[in-house]
Amino acid sequence: MRLKIATVGEPVLRRDTQELSKEQILSPSIQDLIEHMRETLRDAPGVGLAAPQIGQSLRLAVIEDSADYHKTLTESDLKERGRTEVPFHVIVNPGIESRGAAIATFFEGCLSLPGFTALVPREKEVRVRCLDHRGEPRIIDASGWYARILQHEIDHLNRTMYIDRMDSRSFSSLDNYTRHWKDRPPQSSISQ
């Protein structure tokens, strides 16, 4: 079942989220929610979906960066972004920490703000401590685009959206991004 995705301005995107216990994670209702979120993510399509985006104030997100999404990118683009395939998985009650001082700035979008994009600076490497879909502890060391996805989704769980972190001068419709900035270095879009 595809779930309705909340869009920017809906209060649920700015509410506090509650942690889930292992028992709650294993409950039929949360397991069903995870499956519905997977279907919604793939149907959208997107690389991450946090529970607040589907109206649930829970510290839960699903992530998947399928190789199918890489087909429109050049090898150079994939390498520059550090983008590799990320299998479907669930993060629950995540905590995040930086693993270095390096920052990368790329255009980023969001299923809750369809049709727009902006340059967003993000840590290049992060460590996430969370529970998985079985309520088991997990540590994820991520870099590149995977680190960006994790930061984006965890931001949603912390009442933050990419528009709170973006370089506002780079905010653009997807049509204008494709027309004017897609094939240019990210920094050129804010210097002109």
For 21-58, write each residue's pLDDT tens digit: 999 999 999 999 999 999 999 999 999 999 999 999 99
Residue 143: per-residue pLDDT: 95
pTM for the model stands at: 0.93
Task: Give the chain's end-to-end CA distance (angstroms, integer).
Answer: 44
Q: Quickly state the pLDDT bin for 192 (edges 50, 70, 90).
A: very low
Residue 77: per-residue pLDDT: 84
Residue 187: per-residue pLDDT: 56
Residue 18: per-residue pLDDT: 98
Listed by start position, the domains of the chain span 11-102+123-164
Region 1-30 average pLDDT: 97
Region 168-184 average pLDDT: 88
Question: What is residue 73's DSSP assignment?
Answer: S
Task: Please confirm, yes or no, whether 125 is among the known catalytic residues.
Answer: no
For 137-175, write each residue's pLDDT tens digit: 999 999 999 999 999 999 999 999 999 999 999 999 999
For 51-108, write each residue's pLDDT tens digit: 999 999 999 999 999 988 888 888 988 898 889 999 999 999 999 999 987 999 999 9
Topology of domain 11-102+123-164 in CATH is Peptide Deformylase (3.90.45)
CA distances from 175 to 5, 93, 119, 179 (A): 21, 36, 15, 6
Q: Can you say whether residue 167 is alpha, beta or left, with left for phi > 0 and alpha for psi between -120 and 50 degrees?
A: beta
Say yes or no to pLDDT of 189 above 60: no
What angle is formed at CA 163 by the lines to CA 90 and CA 190, rounded to 5 degrees? Answer: 125
Q: Quickly state the pLDDT bin for 186 (edges 50, 70, 90).
A: low
65, β-bridge pairs: 86
Of 110, 108, 139, nearest to 126 (Cα)? 139
